[in-house]
Structure 1
Amino acid sequence: MNKRIIMVLVLATAGLLSGCSSDYVMATKDGRMILTSGKPALDKSTGLIRYTDEQGNEKQINGNDISQMLKR
């Protein structure tokens, strides 16, 4: 019985934590749609937007190339 309760608590905690991160869609001026995992961040010194794609790879794109950014 205790194992079942612990398993339920672990799954509930994992579900709550995964629900806290917000994903975004970035539209570029050339028509591409970039899906991100988490909120993209602007590096003010370089003008690049740093983001993590859905596969977990960290990438950057020029902020001038982004036309719109929406929270999913």
Structure 2
Amino acid sequence: MKFLAGVGVLLAATVMLSGCSSDYVMATKDGRMILTSGKPNIDKDTGLVSYTDQSGNKMQINGDDISTMIER
């Protein structure tokens, strides 16, 4: 019985944590819309924005090319 309770707690924690990662939409100055999986990271030194696209690929874009970034 304790095993089932432990599995239930782990399952609930997994569901709750999966809801914490928010997707973002970035609009570029040339009119493209980029959907990200998770929050993009902005490197202040280089000006590059790193993100993971919907397919799971790690990508980078110049921060100057982004006009808007909103949470979806």
Q: TM-score by structure 2 length?
A: 0.83
Gaps of 5+ in 1: none
CA distance in 2, matches of 1:57, 1:12: 28
In the alignment, what sits opposite 1:69?
69
Task: Output the CA distance in 1 between the equivalents of 2:6 and 2:56.
Answer: 29
Q: Which runs of 5+ in 2 are unaligned?
A: none
How many residues align structurally?
72
Which residue in the other structure is 2:16 paired with? 16
Could you say what the CA RMSD is over the residues aligned between the two structures, in angstroms? 1.5
1:30 maps to 30
| TM-score w.r.t. length of structure 1 | 0.83
Measure, in 2, the Cα distance between the counterparts of 1:14 and 1:54.
20
Q: Secondary structure at the match of 1:39?
A: coil
Give the match for residue 39 of structure 1: 39
